[in-house]
Amino acid sequence: MAAMKDIRNIVILTGAGVSAESGIDTFRSEGGLWEQHRVEDVATPEAFARDPDLVLRFYDMRREAIQTKQPNAAHFALAKLDTEWPCELLIVTQNVDDLHERAGARRVLHMHGEHLLAWCTACDVRSPWTATLIQRPPCPECGERALRPDVVWFGEMPYRMEEIYAALREADLFVSIGTSGAVYPAAGFVRNARELGAATLELNLEASQGTHWFDEARHGPATQIVPEWVEEMLGD
Protein backbone atom coordinates (compact mmCIF):
# COMPACT_ATOMS: atom_id res chain seq x y z
CA MET A 1 0.00 0.00 0.00
CA ALA A 2 1.37 3.42 -0.94
CA ALA A 3 2.50 5.51 1.98
CA MET A 4 -0.36 7.69 3.20
CA LYS A 5 1.70 10.82 2.70
CA ASP A 6 1.80 10.08 -1.04
CA ILE A 7 -1.95 9.94 -1.36
CA ARG A 8 -3.66 12.94 -2.84
CA ASN A 9 -6.63 11.87 -4.91
CA ILE A 10 -9.12 9.31 -3.61
CA VAL A 11 -11.99 7.39 -5.22
CA ILE A 12 -14.32 5.60 -2.82
CA LEU A 13 -16.82 3.03 -4.07
CA THR A 14 -19.68 2.26 -1.69
CA GLY A 15 -22.33 -0.46 -1.76
CA ALA A 16 -25.26 -1.72 0.25
CA GLY A 17 -23.01 -2.71 3.18
CA VAL A 18 -22.41 0.93 4.10
CA SER A 19 -26.16 1.40 4.68
CA ALA A 20 -26.79 -2.02 6.29
CA GLU A 21 -26.39 -0.73 9.83
CA SER A 22 -28.93 2.01 9.05
CA GLY A 23 -31.45 -0.81 8.60
CA ILE A 24 -31.52 -0.97 4.81
CA ASP A 25 -31.35 -4.56 3.55
CA THR A 26 -28.40 -5.47 1.37
CA PHE A 27 -29.14 -7.24 -1.92
CA ARG A 28 -27.43 -10.54 -1.40
CA SER A 29 -28.23 -11.25 2.24
CA GLU A 30 -31.07 -13.55 3.36
CA GLY A 31 -31.19 -15.09 -0.10
CA GLY A 32 -31.95 -11.71 -1.66
CA LEU A 33 -35.62 -12.54 -2.05
CA TRP A 34 -38.49 -10.09 -2.12
CA GLU A 35 -41.98 -11.62 -1.98
CA GLN A 36 -40.51 -14.79 -3.48
CA HIS A 37 -38.93 -12.88 -6.38
CA ARG A 38 -35.22 -12.66 -6.87
CA VAL A 39 -34.16 -9.01 -6.97
CA GLU A 40 -32.64 -9.71 -10.37
CA ASP A 41 -36.12 -10.65 -11.60
CA VAL A 42 -37.67 -7.38 -10.44
CA ALA A 43 -34.92 -4.92 -11.31
CA THR A 44 -34.96 -5.30 -15.08
CA PRO A 45 -36.59 -3.46 -18.00
CA GLU A 46 -38.18 -6.78 -19.03
CA ALA A 47 -39.83 -7.17 -15.62
CA PHE A 48 -41.15 -3.61 -15.85
CA ALA A 49 -42.62 -4.29 -19.30
CA ARG A 50 -44.15 -7.59 -18.16
CA ASP A 51 -45.52 -6.58 -14.77
CA PRO A 52 -45.13 -2.83 -14.10
CA ASP A 53 -47.27 -2.95 -10.93
CA LEU A 54 -44.92 -5.49 -9.34
CA VAL A 55 -41.85 -3.42 -10.13
CA LEU A 56 -43.41 -0.10 -9.08
CA ARG A 57 -44.62 -1.67 -5.81
CA PHE A 58 -41.11 -2.94 -5.08
CA TYR A 59 -39.55 0.48 -5.61
CA ASP A 60 -42.40 2.31 -3.82
CA MET A 61 -41.71 0.13 -0.80
CA ARG A 62 -37.99 0.76 -0.85
CA ARG A 63 -38.43 4.51 -1.50
CA GLU A 64 -40.75 4.73 1.50
CA ALA A 65 -38.40 2.69 3.68
CA ILE A 66 -35.28 4.77 3.09
CA GLN A 67 -37.09 7.90 4.20
CA THR A 68 -37.46 6.39 7.68
CA LYS A 69 -33.73 5.51 7.94
CA GLN A 70 -30.86 7.60 9.22
CA PRO A 71 -27.19 7.83 8.19
CA ASN A 72 -24.81 5.83 10.38
CA ALA A 73 -21.27 6.39 11.64
CA ALA A 74 -19.77 5.18 8.33
CA HIS A 75 -21.75 7.76 6.31
CA PHE A 76 -20.77 10.50 8.78
CA ALA A 77 -17.10 9.52 8.69
CA LEU A 78 -17.06 9.62 4.87
CA ALA A 79 -18.81 13.01 4.93
CA LYS A 80 -16.11 14.28 7.29
CA LEU A 81 -13.40 12.99 4.96
CA ASP A 82 -15.16 14.65 2.01
CA THR A 83 -15.35 17.97 3.88
CA GLU A 84 -11.77 17.95 5.15
CA TRP A 85 -9.81 16.20 2.39
CA PRO A 86 -7.89 18.92 0.54
CA CYS A 87 -7.37 17.08 -2.77
CA GLU A 88 -9.66 15.33 -5.21
CA LEU A 89 -12.16 12.92 -3.69
CA LEU A 90 -15.16 11.20 -5.23
CA ILE A 91 -17.66 8.90 -3.50
CA VAL A 92 -19.05 6.67 -6.23
CA THR A 93 -22.04 4.93 -4.72
CA GLN A 94 -24.02 1.99 -6.03
CA ASN A 95 -26.63 2.85 -3.43
CA VAL A 96 -29.85 4.54 -4.43
CA ASP A 97 -30.52 5.88 -0.93
CA ASP A 98 -29.57 9.44 0.03
CA LEU A 99 -27.73 8.65 3.27
CA HIS A 100 -24.32 9.90 2.09
CA GLU A 101 -25.89 13.29 1.30
CA ARG A 102 -27.93 13.39 4.51
CA ALA A 103 -24.70 12.78 6.45
CA GLY A 104 -23.24 15.86 4.74
CA ALA A 105 -21.17 14.42 1.88
CA ARG A 106 -21.13 16.58 -1.25
CA ARG A 107 -18.84 14.82 -3.73
CA VAL A 108 -21.22 11.90 -4.34
CA LEU A 109 -21.98 10.24 -7.67
CA HIS A 110 -24.94 7.81 -7.85
CA MET A 111 -23.96 5.37 -10.58
CA HIS A 112 -27.12 3.26 -10.11
CA GLY A 113 -29.52 6.21 -9.84
CA GLU A 114 -31.56 7.49 -6.89
CA HIS A 115 -34.76 6.38 -5.18
CA LEU A 116 -35.79 9.97 -4.60
CA LEU A 117 -35.96 10.87 -8.29
CA ALA A 118 -38.62 9.87 -10.81
CA TRP A 119 -37.65 9.72 -14.46
CA CYS A 120 -40.20 10.61 -17.12
CA THR A 121 -39.75 8.33 -20.11
CA ALA A 122 -41.87 10.74 -22.20
CA CYS A 123 -39.91 14.00 -21.69
CA ASP A 124 -36.69 12.57 -20.13
CA VAL A 125 -36.83 14.96 -17.15
CA ARG A 126 -35.96 13.72 -13.65
CA SER A 127 -38.07 15.14 -10.81
CA PRO A 128 -37.54 14.93 -7.05
CA TRP A 129 -39.92 12.23 -5.81
CA THR A 130 -40.81 11.03 -2.32
CA ALA A 131 -44.31 9.61 -2.91
CA THR A 132 -45.41 6.41 -4.66
CA LEU A 133 -45.53 5.76 -8.41
CA ILE A 134 -47.95 2.81 -8.46
CA GLN A 135 -50.97 5.03 -9.20
CA ARG A 136 -49.19 6.41 -12.32
CA PRO A 137 -49.04 10.08 -11.30
CA PRO A 138 -48.45 12.65 -14.08
CA CYS A 139 -44.95 13.97 -14.73
CA PRO A 140 -44.66 17.42 -13.06
CA GLU A 141 -42.88 18.62 -16.19
CA CYS A 142 -44.95 17.37 -19.14
CA GLY A 143 -48.07 15.82 -17.57
CA GLU A 144 -47.59 12.40 -19.19
CA ARG A 145 -48.16 9.38 -16.96
CA ALA A 146 -44.81 7.88 -17.88
CA LEU A 147 -42.75 8.05 -14.68
CA ARG A 148 -40.44 5.23 -13.62
CA PRO A 149 -37.96 4.96 -10.76
CA ASP A 150 -34.67 6.65 -11.68
CA VAL A 151 -32.81 3.50 -10.79
CA VAL A 152 -30.49 1.60 -13.12
CA TRP A 153 -31.84 -1.88 -13.79
CA PHE A 154 -29.90 -4.99 -14.81
CA GLY A 155 -29.15 -4.69 -18.48
CA GLU A 156 -29.08 -0.87 -18.38
CA MET A 157 -25.94 1.24 -18.49
CA PRO A 158 -24.88 2.73 -15.13
CA TYR A 159 -24.73 6.51 -15.03
CA ARG A 160 -21.75 8.82 -15.47
CA MET A 161 -19.17 6.17 -16.32
CA GLU A 162 -16.91 8.67 -18.10
CA GLU A 163 -16.64 10.78 -14.95
CA ILE A 164 -15.90 7.68 -12.88
CA TYR A 165 -13.12 6.47 -15.15
CA ALA A 166 -11.66 10.00 -15.28
CA ALA A 167 -11.56 10.06 -11.47
CA LEU A 168 -9.98 6.57 -11.38
CA ARG A 169 -7.25 7.77 -13.74
CA GLU A 170 -6.34 10.53 -11.27
CA ALA A 171 -6.68 8.39 -8.15
CA ASP A 172 -3.78 7.51 -5.86
CA LEU A 173 -6.06 5.43 -3.66
CA PHE A 174 -9.17 3.40 -4.47
CA VAL A 175 -11.27 2.24 -1.51
CA SER A 176 -14.19 -0.17 -1.82
CA ILE A 177 -16.65 -0.15 1.08
CA GLY A 178 -19.54 -2.52 1.77
CA THR A 179 -19.91 -4.08 -1.64
CA SER A 180 -19.93 -7.76 -2.57
CA GLY A 181 -18.01 -7.27 -5.82
CA ALA A 182 -20.71 -9.20 -7.66
CA VAL A 183 -22.07 -6.56 -10.02
CA TYR A 184 -20.12 -5.09 -12.93
CA PRO A 185 -18.88 -2.60 -13.97
CA ALA A 186 -18.42 -1.46 -10.34
CA ALA A 187 -16.82 -4.77 -9.39
CA GLY A 188 -14.11 -4.11 -12.01
CA PHE A 189 -13.06 -0.68 -10.71
CA VAL A 190 -10.44 -2.20 -8.42
CA ARG A 191 -8.67 -3.71 -11.41
CA ASN A 192 -8.86 -0.45 -13.37
CA ALA A 193 -7.47 1.42 -10.38
CA ARG A 194 -4.61 -1.08 -9.93
CA GLU A 195 -3.67 -0.95 -13.59
CA LEU A 196 -3.59 2.83 -13.36
CA GLY A 197 -1.22 2.64 -10.40
CA ALA A 198 -3.50 3.42 -7.46
CA ALA A 199 -3.24 1.73 -4.09
CA THR A 200 -6.35 -0.32 -3.32
CA LEU A 201 -8.13 -0.99 -0.02
CA GLU A 202 -11.20 -3.06 0.77
CA LEU A 203 -13.36 -2.30 3.81
CA ASN A 204 -16.14 -4.88 4.10
CA LEU A 205 -17.86 -7.11 6.61
CA GLU A 206 -16.25 -10.15 4.98
CA ALA A 207 -13.99 -10.91 2.04
CA SER A 208 -15.75 -9.77 -1.14
CA GLN A 209 -15.69 -11.77 -4.37
CA GLY A 210 -12.82 -9.60 -5.60
CA THR A 211 -10.91 -9.36 -2.33
CA HIS A 212 -7.69 -10.78 -3.83
CA TRP A 213 -7.42 -7.78 -6.16
CA PHE A 214 -6.89 -5.38 -3.24
CA ASP A 215 -3.51 -4.48 -1.75
CA GLU A 216 -5.13 -4.54 1.67
CA ALA A 217 -8.46 -5.71 3.06
CA ARG A 218 -9.94 -4.93 6.45
CA HIS A 219 -13.01 -6.84 7.53
CA GLY A 220 -15.63 -5.76 10.07
CA PRO A 221 -18.80 -3.69 10.34
CA ALA A 222 -18.68 -0.44 8.38
CA THR A 223 -19.60 1.68 11.42
CA GLN A 224 -16.34 0.54 13.03
CA ILE A 225 -13.80 0.14 10.28
CA VAL A 226 -14.76 3.17 8.18
CA PRO A 227 -14.42 5.78 11.00
CA GLU A 228 -11.08 4.15 11.98
CA TRP A 229 -9.77 4.43 8.43
CA VAL A 230 -11.00 8.04 8.08
CA GLU A 231 -9.20 8.96 11.30
CA GLU A 232 -6.00 7.49 9.86
CA MET A 233 -6.42 9.46 6.65
CA LEU A 234 -7.08 12.73 8.44
CA GLY A 235 -4.42 12.08 11.05
CA ASP A 236 -6.89 12.68 13.91
Residue count of the chain, please give it.
Answer: 236
> What three-state secondary structure class fits 123?
coil
Cis peptide before 185 (omega within 30 of 0): yes
Residue nearest to ligand OAD (CB): 17
Strands (E), 164-204: 173-177, 199-204
Q: Which residue number, 21 or 51, has a Cβ lying nearer to ligand OAD? A: 21
Q: How far is the CB of 87 from ligand OAD (least distance, A)?
A: 26
User: How buried is 206 (Cβ within 10 angstroms: 0-12 exposed, 13-18 middle, 19+ buried)?
Assistant: exposed
Q: How far is the CB of 138 from ligand OAD (least distance, A)?
A: 26
Positions that interact with ligand OAD (CB under 6 A): 15-17, 20-21, 26-28, 39, 43, 94, 112, 152, 178-180, 182-183, 204-206, 208, 221-222
Q: How far is the CB of 94 from ligand OAD (least distance, A)?
A: 3
Determine the Cα–Cα distance for residues 40 and 75; give it in Å rounded to an integer: 26
Q: Which residues have a Cβ under 8 Å from the Cβ of 218 and sit 6 or more positions away?
A: 201, 202, 203, 225, 229
Q: How far is the CB of 93 from ligand OAD (least distance, A)?
A: 8
Q: Which residues have a Cβ under 8 Å from the Cβ of 190 and sit 6 or more positions away?
A: 174, 176, 181, 200, 202, 210, 213, 214
Q: Which residue number, 15 or 227, has a Cβ lying nearer to ligand OAD? A: 15
Q: How far is the CB of 206 from ligand OAD (least distance, A)?
A: 5
Task: Assess contact for 64 and 58: CB atoms under 8 A.
Answer: no
Q: Which residue number, 147 or 152, has a Cβ lying nearer to ligand OAD? A: 152
Is-catalytic flag, 112?
yes
Catalytic site residue from 37, 112, 115, 219:
112
What is the C-alpha end-to-end distance of the chain, expressed in Å?
Answer: 20
Active-site residue list: 112
